[in-house]
């Protein structure tokens, strides 16, 4: 049983009890209650389809707010969802849906489990390890139990990882209640971690007696900010719930160690490490059971097959001891140990499955072995009573069946451990310790000490020595060095890091000493996010797996029915004389003959292989993808990616390097070049567009090196003050500089403001655009002043990747907000024949949908915030890893290396994975289709082909192992070489 909260010691804050661990909402005291619903009001959430821009979301909000009784309505464009609060006495759910549809959009009322949850909702996502699951039927059973619990909004269970992810409301249910519900159903459950950031698990050294425990409890009770804590004497682990607004995790550790006079030493326990150790423990336990079973089965086999050929030993076995012979006693004793001690797990699992109204593999194993065992016991007792040995015993069938099943389970547990290697490798990247620098107010280092890397806090200054791992995401504040980032980004070349450079936790410092300031720690760190993405992907289910789950749910009852039909069919045929008695085994009868066929059917028809076909392949694929710099967010993403027909590529930052440079400057009204650049830079200073940054860098370089009066200032002190700045998407910017209106942008911006573009300026723009450069027009006080030419170099692999996609049968399309001439020039350079230019940011999603109309599967590749709606709208969104967090969140694939070759890798890996999944289903389904008739004796009358129960058990174990091994072959995947794809022969 998972430990209950009764073991927790409560630390009082202001004389009040805190309550249950998961009831604590750390920001409750800071909320003004504005988010709370008024009495009698109702909140629903609606999925809105068809929105492409902010005007659409405004239109939906207006339609909703016009309803009498709607208190508030807000629409999230990127999430395609609307949140509506209304009076149910005046408005119904269907009225909300109709209002949205009347506005020209599609609407779907979301149930609570699928609704978008805000942080203030208090919902938590908890992970649980679940032991005892053996097939897809077990998974369905656990998921059904979890989803039926009050307060549980979502539950997903993965057979391959033995993990469950549950989203729940801590106000209605706690994590121990969830674990108890799983255990009440007969499975094993333990809590791993939750999305709450207010808990820490510590290993404690130095606690040797009850006195030490009381001392530890008294120290913790005096620490401010501690809500609850629990010390587990067996594991020497201390779990603390605390308020991060009051105290930090490192302060807790330091406070406990100092309070004990340094007698206690604490270290943070990584929950993933505990999970990895459980995988090892499971494999070890299965090996122990299998070894014990085979050691006891060998004597049973020898007594049956070998000993009758050795007269001396056989005479001893025939020696009568009480009602039975010595050989019978030995077989009964050995097999009883195998059946009820070693095989106890099958009875327990079968019992909980039947208790929950479901059936699984363990039901079949328990049924088959029990039939063989209890029949053999009956045959012995019948012989003792009648004095006749006419009924043969089949103890060896029961023992061999359990042995082979345990062998299959052991190999599956090994495979399960191997499929988690990607997460384990990522965990190993994280350093265990860090060197913390304590500085005085003057910035001088007064102390250097080693701390646990899991206790790093934002703002800490950390020292990184040559050959050491960077302990945290951060920014270099002193020193320079080359860092190997290949373990995270896949780039093999070391990267130079200097002051202000960003570093990633887990990467390797190669040469110099660095001082870095920690910026993102814990779950916000890049490495943690990668682990989370991989883990989430391995938890997900591909749509194709629904078929397997459905088949597994009805398969076991069908098999039992088939076994009964087999038994009664053969028995009735024998009684009616349909087949001769010489078909019967020696000392056998019709009952025994029929029973053996039915037991073989029960044993061989296990659906375990069917349930493993998809999750094992998805797990291996996500791990392989992570090792190749491609993060996959789930099995559904894999399934969609293997069907991609169009790949839509954003131009800036995707096809191009995203590092625009000013290559041409021309002034037309006689203004000085330096004054012109100063004017443009002052207008663009507030813009975050890549072209604005390019203009700023060029202007700074010009003023610093071309002899301006501020040449000693390499920064932007020479800029003029700009006011009323306004960014106009798809056109440019406008503002006032020293009271003069300044416009910087494209033709459309100037034409909208009534500014004429002379023919010689137009010719210069055309010349720039034909050479794949973007022309930026500058006007001041309604007069065109000059033009800047900006070029964004293509990525070196762009043209080859485009050709590779075409060779793979995928059609590349370029989409950009740039003008047609520049877009066409860039497209010609890379070999793209279909271009969509002058597309507004919100229009990229509409461009994606235009290709989806004919039923084609469309992938979108982008990197910016403005690409997020398109990434979300596409069947497969691929975010460049160097892009924004919002783009990465909206995508299905994250290409960590910022290399377009990974697009080919993502599609190729998806195709090979689903080829492997289909092959797995062939193994699983074809095996049952062929094996069940043989086991049922269909071919016995003509071919004399019979499959004993022990052989059926061996075949059943082999089927599961074959599927797992087939999935593990994906570990040999190698990213495709472009020379192979393009069929290039290198001399």
Supply the residues annotated as catalytic.
Answer: 650
What CA–CA distance (Å, rounded) separates 553 from 144? 12
What sign does the CA torsion over 636, 638, 639, 645 have?
Answer: positive
What CA–CA distance (Å, rounded) separates 110 from 93? 10
What lies within 8 Å, CB to CB, of 154 at 6+ separation is 113, 114, 147, 165, 166, 167
Phi, psi of 163 (to 5 degrees): -120, 145
SS3 of the chain: helix, strand, coil, percent, to 5: 50, 20, 30
What CA–CA distance (Å, rounded) separates 941 from 570? 11
CB-based contact 868:888 (threshold 8 Å):
no
CB-based contact 627:619 (threshold 8 Å):
no
From residue 20, give the alpha-carbon distance in Å to each of 9, 191, 869. Answer: 11, 15, 40
Q: Is 527 exposed, middle or buried (0-12, 13-18, 19+ CB in 10 A)?
A: buried
What CA–CA distance (Å, rounded) separates 529 from 522? 9
What sign does the CA torsion over 341, 346, 347, 348 have?
Answer: positive
SS (H, E, C) 81-106: EEEEEECCCCCCHHHHHHHHHHCCCE
Phi, psi of 294 (to 5 degrees): -70, -35
Phi, psi of 733 (to 5 degrees): -135, 155
CB-based contact 777:683 (threshold 8 Å):
no
From residue 287, give the alpha-carbon distance in Å to each of 99, 396, 418, 534, 952. Answer: 62, 20, 16, 28, 21
Closest CA relative to residue 163, chosen from 275, 277, 4: 275
Half-sphere exposure of 396 (CA within 13 A, CB side): 13
The DSSP-derived string for 369-424 is HHHHHHHHHHHHHHHHHHS---S---HHHHHHHHHHHHHHHHHHHHHHHHHTHHHH
Neighbour tally for 90: CB within 10 Å = 11
Beta bridge partners of 167: 125, 154
Closest CA relative to residue 956, chosen from 616, 601, 651: 601
What CA–CA distance (Å, rounded) separates 363 from 379? 24
- Report residue 13 as tokens: 């804050």
**DSSP summary character for residue 206:** S
What CA–CA distance (Å, rounded) separates 208 from 155? 40
What CA–CA distance (Å, rounded) separates 259 from 357? 53
CB-based contact 167:123 (threshold 8 Å):
yes
What sign does the CA torsion over 556, 561, 566, 568 have?
Answer: positive
From residue 197, give the alpha-carbon distance in Å to each of 4, 22, 24, 194, 522. Answer: 21, 11, 12, 8, 9
Cα 370 from chain centre:
41
Helix (H, G, I), strand (E, B) or coil at 635: helix
Helix (H) or strand (E) holding 473: strand 473-478
**DSSP summary character for residue 753:** T
């Amino acid at each position: 049983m998972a430990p209950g909260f009764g073991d927790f010691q409560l630390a009082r804050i202001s004389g009040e009890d805190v309550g249950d661990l998961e009831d604590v909402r750390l920001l409750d005291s800071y909320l003004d209650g504005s988010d709370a619903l008024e009495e009698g009001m109702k909140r629903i959430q609606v999925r809105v389809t068809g929105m492409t821009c902010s005007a659409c979301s405004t239109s939906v909000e207006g339609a909703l707010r016009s309803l009498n009784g709607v208190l508030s309505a807000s629409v999230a464009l990127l999430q395609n969802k609307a949140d509506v609060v209304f009076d149910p006495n005046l408005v119904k759910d269907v009225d909300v849906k109709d209002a949205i549809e009347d506005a020209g959009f599609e609407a779907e009322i979301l149930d609570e489990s699928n609704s978008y949850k805000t942080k203030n909702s208090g919902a938590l996502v908890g992970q649980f390890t679940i032991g005892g699951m053996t097939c897809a039927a077990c998974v369905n059973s656990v998921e059904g139990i979890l989803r039926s619990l009050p307060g549980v909004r979502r539950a997903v269970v993965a057979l391959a990882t033995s993990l469950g992810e549950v989203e729940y409301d801590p106000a209605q249910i706690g994590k121990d209640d969830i674990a108890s519900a799983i255990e009440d159903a007969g499975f094993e459950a333990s809590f791993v971690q939750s999305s709450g950031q207010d808990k820490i698990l510590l290993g404690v050294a130095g606690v040797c007696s009850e006195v030490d425990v009381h001392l530890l409890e008294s120290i913790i009770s005096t620490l401010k900010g501690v809500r609850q804590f629990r010390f587990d004497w067996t594991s020497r682990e201390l779990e603390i719930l605390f308020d991060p607004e009051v105290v930090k995790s490192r302060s807790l550790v330091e406070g406990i160690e100092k309070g004990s006079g340094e007698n206690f030493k604490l270290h943070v326990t990584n929950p993933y490490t505990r999970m990895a150790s459980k995988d090892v423990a499971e494999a070890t336990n299965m090996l122990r059971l299998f070894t014990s079973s085979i050691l006891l089965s060998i004597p049973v086999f020898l007594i049956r097959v070998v000993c009758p050929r050795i007269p001396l030993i056989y005479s001893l076995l025939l020696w009568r001891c009480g009602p039975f012979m010595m050989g019978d006693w030995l077989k009964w004793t050995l097999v009883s140990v195998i059946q009820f001690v070693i095989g106890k797990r099958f009875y327990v699992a079968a019992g909980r499955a039947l208790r929950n109204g479901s059936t699984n593999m363990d039901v079949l194993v328990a049924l088959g072995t029990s039939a063989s065992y209890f029949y053999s016991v009956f045959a012995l007792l019948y012989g003792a009573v009648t004095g006749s040995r006419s009924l043969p015993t089949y103890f060896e069938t029961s023992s061999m069946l359990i042995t082979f099943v345990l062998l299959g389970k052991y190999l599956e547990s090994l495979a399960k451990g191997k499929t988690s290697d990607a997460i384990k490798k990522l965990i190993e990247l994280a350093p265990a310790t860090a060197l913390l620098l304590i500085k005085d107010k003057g910035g001088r280092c007064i102390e250097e000490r080693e701390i646990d890397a899991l206790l790093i806090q934002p703002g800490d200054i950390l020292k990184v020595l040559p050959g050491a791992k960077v302990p945290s995401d951060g920014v270099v504040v002193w020193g320079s060095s080359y860092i190997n980032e290949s373990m995270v980004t896949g780039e093999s070349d070391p990267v130079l890091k200097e002051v202000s450079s960003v570093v990633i936790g887990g990467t390797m410092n190669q040469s110099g000493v660095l001082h870095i300031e920690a910026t993102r720690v814990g779950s916000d760190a890049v490495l943690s996010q990668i682990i989370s993405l991989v883990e989430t992907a391995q938890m997900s289910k591909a749509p194709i797996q629904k078929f397997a789950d459905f088949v597994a749910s009805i398969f076991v009852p069908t098999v039992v029915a088939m076994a009964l039909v087999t038994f009664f069919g053969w028995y009735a045929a024998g009684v009616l004389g349909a087949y001769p008695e010489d078909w019967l085994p020696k000392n056998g009868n019709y009952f025994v003959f029929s029973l053996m066929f039915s037991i073989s059917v029960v044993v061989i028809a296990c659906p375990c292989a069917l349930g493993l076909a998809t999750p094992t392949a998805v797990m291996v694929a996500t791990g392989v993808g992570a090792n190749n710099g491609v993060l996959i967010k789930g099995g559904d993403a894999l399934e969609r990616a293997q069907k991609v027909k169009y790949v839509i590529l954003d131009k800036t930052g995707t096809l191009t390097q995203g590092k625009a440079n000013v290559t041409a400057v021309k002034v037309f009204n006689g203004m000085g070049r330096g004054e012109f650049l100063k004017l443009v830079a002052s207008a663009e200073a507030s813009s975050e567009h890549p072209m604005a940054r390019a203009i700023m860098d060029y202007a700074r370089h010009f003023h610093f090196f071309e002899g301006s009066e501020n040449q000693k200032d390499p920064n932007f002190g020479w800029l003029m003050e700009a006011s009323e700045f306004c960014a106009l998407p798809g056109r440019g910017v406008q503002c006032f500089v020293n009271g003069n209106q300044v416009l910087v942008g494209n033709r459309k911006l100037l034409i909208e403001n009534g500014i004429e573009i002379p023919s010689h300026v137009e010719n210069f723009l055309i010349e720039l655009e034909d050479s794949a450069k973007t022309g930026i027009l500058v006007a001041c006080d309604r007069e065109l002043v000059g033009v800047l030419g900006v070029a964004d170099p293509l990525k070196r692999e762009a043209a080859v990747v485009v050709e590779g996609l075409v060779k793979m049968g995928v059609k590349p399309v370029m989409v950009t907000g740039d003008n047609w001439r520049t877009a066409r020039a860039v497209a010609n350079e890379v070999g793209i024949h279909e271009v969509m230019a002058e597309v507004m940011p919100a229009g990229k999603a509409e461009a994606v949908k235009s290709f989806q109309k004919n039923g084609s599967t469309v992938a979108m590749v982008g990197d910016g915030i403005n690409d997020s709606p398109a990434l979300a709208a596409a069947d497969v969104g691929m975010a460049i890893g160097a892009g924004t967090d919002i783009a990465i969140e909206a995508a299905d694939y994250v290409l960590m290396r910022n290399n377009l070759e990974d697009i080919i890798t993502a599609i190729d890996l998806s195709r090979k994975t689903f080829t492997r999944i289909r092959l797995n289903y062939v193994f699983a389904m074809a095996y049952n289709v062929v094996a069940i008739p043989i086991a049922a004796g269909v071919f016995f009358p003509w071919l004399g082909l019979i499959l004993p129960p022990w052989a059926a058990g061996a075949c059943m174990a082999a089927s599961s192992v074959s599927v797992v091994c087939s999935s593990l072959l994906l570990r040999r995947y190698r990213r495709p070489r472009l020379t192979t794809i393009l069929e290039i022969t290198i001399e």
